[in-house]
Chains A and B, each alone.
Chain A
Amino acid sequence: MSAKTRKMILYLILGIITVLWLIPILFIFVMSVTSSDSIASVGYSLFPKEITLEAYTYLIKNPAQILDSYKISIIVTLIGTVAGLMITTGLAYAMSRKDFLASKTLNRYVTFALLFHGGLIPTYIVVTQWLHLGNTLWVLILTMLVSPWNVFLMRSFISGIPMELLEAAFIDGATEFQTYFKIVLPLAKAGLASVGLLIMFGYWNDWYQGMLYIDDMKLTPLPLLLYKIISNIQYVMQNSQYMNTANNFPTIGARMATCVISIAPMLVAFPFFQKYLAKGLTLGSVKG
């Protein structure tokens, strides 16, 4: 086998893998525009008999719950990402400063939190019984604000900044804060981007905190809404905003359309920040 044929075969295999990986996502998109009749006759298919935008028209006409959920998801993601990134970076910086004598203790403090968890139920009790955060917007933000894992990831980025730079700044009379904001943060840009993205995905895709702590439909973030729809189609029917059209409600299409509008922002933005994400994952895996 010549080198050229070998390469062709590799291209072919990689091509097939790529298509296989893409198909499930394509299904969601295609099913969101498939008519109910088409599903009844040929089932779920990537090549539907009839294409319709009915599902999207429904969503646009009856947007109350979806807009509420979108709003919640956006608020939580924005606040969570900005605050989470600031707090994570501050802690990571203090941990990375070897000349700071308390940094060893800080490292141990965060390492133990990474390694030993109280588990779901004790956390649930702390959040609901002691901090009284159940059914508030805060619970969606606070519980995920700082993850020990992200702190270590951020620390490994910051550790890459040469200490000499900081020392030079101190000799020039810069204060700790000036050094942090004017030297450390600009140099840690790649780290801020990677960790920020991880935090952002975490918030945007989170249904878990909502499922545990939120009953109020007004506070339901988008991914949780998706779950609530799938778990109980009845729920959609009962929800007043859909009532007037409940008779010919295009259930499957509408569900898929909701999926599409939930993942679309991420898919659109993804190519722009892909390289940061890859970098973050690499660093994170090499040294936690």
Chain B
Amino acid sequence: MKKNSIWKDLRKKYPLLLLALPGIILIFLFNYLPLSGLVIAFKNVDYSVGIFKSDWVGFKNFEFFIKSNDAFRITKNTLVLNALFIVFSTVVSVTVAIMLYYVGKNMLKLTQTVLFLPYLISWVVASYALEAFIDPRNGVINHFLTSIGGSNINFYYEPKYWYVILVICNVWKVAGYNSILYYTRLLSIDPTLFEAAEIDGANTWQKIRYITLYMLRPMIVMLVLLSIGNIFYSDFGMYFFLTKDNGMLYPVTDVIDTYIFRALKTINNPGMGAAVGLFQSVMGFILVMTANKLSRKIDEEGSIF
């Protein structure tokens, strides 16, 4: 009975299906079809016979990955760097949003535009800008160091600086538009709340803490949970271009996504790469589901999807 009515409804509203059809097909081709390609995680890929006829190797690809030193390194880098990004970009963007809110409309337009710019610029271009600062010979930092009699630092050979460099670049790129998100949220605060607080004798810090931050809390929680849900994924371009894919820096800058890319393009081991990718997808899926459940618990309206 119920099934019948679905078909009847479909026939009656077939134009809706027609509108949706191109999208359905594309999502099938580029999102669902690759799932069947996941079998290569369990195969020794031989392109000459095609992936379905390649030999099954069971969990060999996973074993190979887990036993290599790489597994720990790339997982650690991915998680640690993403955690640092979440903390720093949240703190900076919330702070900027609150400042914008208190300053009022005067500087808003200019600041917003400028903070937004990095969002429009690809990591390729950003890597050129970074070079201006850290280039071993002509970079601003090294020029300054030599001018005060210090010695040059070749940043592209020194892993120890890169956590800091990457965090700064990430904040520069994403904090701007995050702060605009938070700022827009703040605009919805009822101004009478502040008036009431003032009458009750609250000072500025108390107002920020008990009104502004309180209003932002659901959104902070949601965006942070969303980022935690994506913590196994990295912005590939950032690592690839800023570091110039430099092997000397892998101990701190190699992440799961760059590793999979190399498995495909450089070391040509697609089976192992797909195994790592499957590990990433499964972990990511579990985390997103957990994050969504948590955010629904914290705030009925705040579920991510």
Evaluate contact between B30 and A123: CB separation under 8 angstroms: yes
Give the residue of A18, A45, A115 whose beta carbon is less than 8 angstroms from that of B110: A18
Alpha-carbon separation in the docked complex, A208 to B240 (Å): 11
| Residue A148 interfacial (CB < 8 Å) | yes
Give the residue of B16, B135, B265 whose beta carbon is less than 8 angstroms from that of A93: B16
| Residue A120 interfacial (CB < 8 Å) | yes
| Residue A168 interfacial (CB < 8 Å) | no
Chain B, residue nearest A7 (CB): B103
| Residue A173 interfacial (CB < 8 Å) | no
Alpha-carbon separation in the docked complex, A184 to B106 (Å): 36
Most chain B CB atoms below 10 A, which of A120, A177, A180: A120
| Residue A13 interfacial (CB < 8 Å) | yes
| Residue A227 interfacial (CB < 8 Å) | yes
Evaluate contact between B125 and A28: CB separation under 8 angstroms: yes
Alpha-carbon separation in the docked complex, A208 to B110 (Å): 31
| Residue B5 interfacial (CB < 8 Å) | yes
Contacts of B288 in A (CB 8 A): 115
Evaluate contact between A146 and B26: CB separation under 8 angstroms: yes
Evaluate contact between B305 and A230: CB separation under 8 angstroms: no
Chain A, residue nearest B108 (CB): A14
Evaluate contact between A120 and B140: CB separation under 8 angstroms: no
| Residue A101 interfacial (CB < 8 Å) | yes
Considering only residues 173-201 of chain A, those with a C-beta below 8 Å from chain B are: 175-177, 180, 201
- A44-B139, A119-B280, A121-B277 given; A270·B113 CB < 8 A: yes
> B-facing mask of A273-288, CB < 8 A → 1, else 0?
0100110011001111
Number of interface residues of B (CB under 8 A): 101
- A177-B15, A263-B125 given; A285·B181 CB < 8 A: yes
Contacts of A22 in B (CB 8 A): 114, 117
| Residue A27 interfacial (CB < 8 Å) | yes
Chain A interface bracket (under 10, 10 to 19, 20 to 34, 35 or more): 35 or more
Alpha-carbon separation in the docked complex, A125 to B280 (Å): 18
| Residue A11 interfacial (CB < 8 Å) | yes
Evaluate contact between A121 and B263: CB separation under 8 angstroms: yes
Considering only residues 258-305 of chain B, those with a C-beta below 8 Å from chain A are: 260-261, 263-265, 270, 273-274, 277-278, 280-281, 284-285, 288-289, 304-305
| Residue A63 interfacial (CB < 8 Å) | no
Give the residue of A42, A95, A285 whose beta carbon is less than 8 angstroms from that of B20: A95
- A10-B102, A39-B138, A109-B24 given; A24·B280 CB < 8 A: no
Most chain B CB atoms below 10 A, which of A31, A97, A124, A274: A124
Contacts of A131 in B (CB 8 A): 29
Evaluate contact between B29 and A126: CB separation under 8 angstroms: yes
Alpha-carbon separation in the docked complex, A281 to B181 (Å): 7
Considering only residues 192-234 of chain A, those with a C-beta below 8 Å from chain B are: 201, 205-208, 212, 223, 226-227, 230-231
CB pairs A–B below 8 angstroms (30 shown): A10-B102, A17-B111, A18-B107, A18-B110, A25-B117, A45-B143, A87-B26, A91-B23, A93-B19, A94-B16, A102-B16, A110-B27, A119-B34, A120-B260, A121-B264, A121-B277, A126-B37, A129-B47, A131-B29, A142-B29, A145-B26, A152-B305, A175-B15, A207-B237, A208-B236, A223-B122, A227-B124, A270-B113, A270-B120, A274-B113
| Chain B residues within 8 Å of A, Cβ to Cβ | 5-6, 9-10, 13, 15-17, 19-24, 26-27, 29-38, 40, 47, 50-51, 96, 99-100, 102-103, 106-107, 110-118, 120-122, 124-133, 135, 137-140, 142-143, 172, 176-177, 180-181, 184-185, 204, 219, 222-223, 226, 236-237, 241, 244, 257, 260-261, 263-265, 270, 273-274, 277-278, 280-281, 284-285, 288-289, 304-305
